[in-house]
Structures are given as C-alpha cells and as structure tokens.
Amino acid sequence: KLLSLFFLLDEESNLIEAADLTFSHKLKNLLDANNCFKEERGGAFSVRHYAEEVIF
C-alpha cells in the first residue's frame, strides 16, 4: 500500500481510539524528510503545494 496523508487519515479515522495527536505523530514519522511537509505547533502541520502552504 502507498502510504500517504490521505491513507493515514482514513486509517486513523477507522480506529476507536483515534486522536488528532496520534495522527499528527504518524504523519511526522512518515513525512518528516519530505520538504513539502512541516510540523506546526499544537499537533498542527502544513503541506506546501503548487498554490501555497496550507496549515491543517
């Protein structure tokens, strides 16, 4: 399976104990080396794409 932001979001949303913070940690572990991903304060993260940086 291709691991991506949307794959992890779908996987996390199916868990009973799902939480924003665990999702954020999984993203950081998966995408930390990717220069389009940046961890923000409070469990937030940003994704840079062709238009601009978007904070989630």
Inter-residue contact 16 to 10 (CB < 8 Å): no
Q: Are 27 and 45 in contact (CB under 8 A)?
A: yes
Provide the domain count of the chain: 1
Q: Which two tokens stand for residue 46?
A: 């940003």
pLDDT at 53 (0 to 100)? 93
- Average the pLDDT over 26-54 and give the result: 87
Mean pLDDT of all residues belonging to the chain: 85
Burial class (CB in 10 A: 0-12, 13-18, 19+), 23: buried
Domain hosting residue 41, numbered range: 5-55
- What pLDDT sits at residue 20? 82
* One-letter amino acid for residue 4 of the chain: S
pLDDT band at 1 (very low <50, low <70, confident <90, very high): low
Report the 10 Å Cβ neighbour count for 53: 11
